[in-house]
Amino acid sequence: MTYKKTTLSTLSLLGLISVAACDVAYPVTVIGDNGMTFRGSATDTFLYGGSFQATNGTSVCVGTYTKHQDISTVSFPVSCNNGLRGIGTAHFESPTRGSGFVTMSDGSQWQFLFGRGALAL
């Protein structure tokens, strides 16, 4: 009986590790209407979508998204610790590269780039 429990636990752990191994992180740069720049990262999680976090040194904005394999454009909520909220739209050129925009609750439009190109901004 102990052998079966140990084997099942080991198999469960290996399954979780293999799914976690499918997480991919990539850089994100967000530029607000006034030129304010946020930098951070996004993590794409196999089968679930992903999340992102970006900061300008004072404020931090975060969000999560659900991405389906056959859909290249997603919408997602954004919330910041300074009280701003928004709705973003991202277009994926590849699983780890793309761009989009966020319309914030104060009416401002923020643009963002994710993937290797975000490092150049």
The total number of structural domains that make up the chain = 1
Q: Examine the pLDDT at 6 and tell me if it is beyond 80.
A: no
- Of 47, 89, 54, 48, nearest in space to 72 by CA: 89
* Residue 3 falls inside a structural domain: no
* Residue 101 falls inside a structural domain: yes
Residue 28's Cβ-count burial label (10 Å; 0-12, 13-18, 19+) is buried
Q: Mean pLDDT across the chain, nearest whole number?
A: 82
Give 115 or 69, the one with higher predicted confidence: 115
**pTM to 2 decimals?**
0.76
Please write the tens of the pLDDT for every residue from 13-63: 334 444 445 788 999 999 998 889 999 999 987 767 889 999 999 999 999
How many other C-beta atoms are found inside a 10 Å radius of the C-beta of residue 107?
8
* Residue 10 falls inside a structural domain: no
CATH number, residue 30: 2.40.128.380
CA distance 98 to 50: 14
* Residue 70 falls inside a structural domain: yes
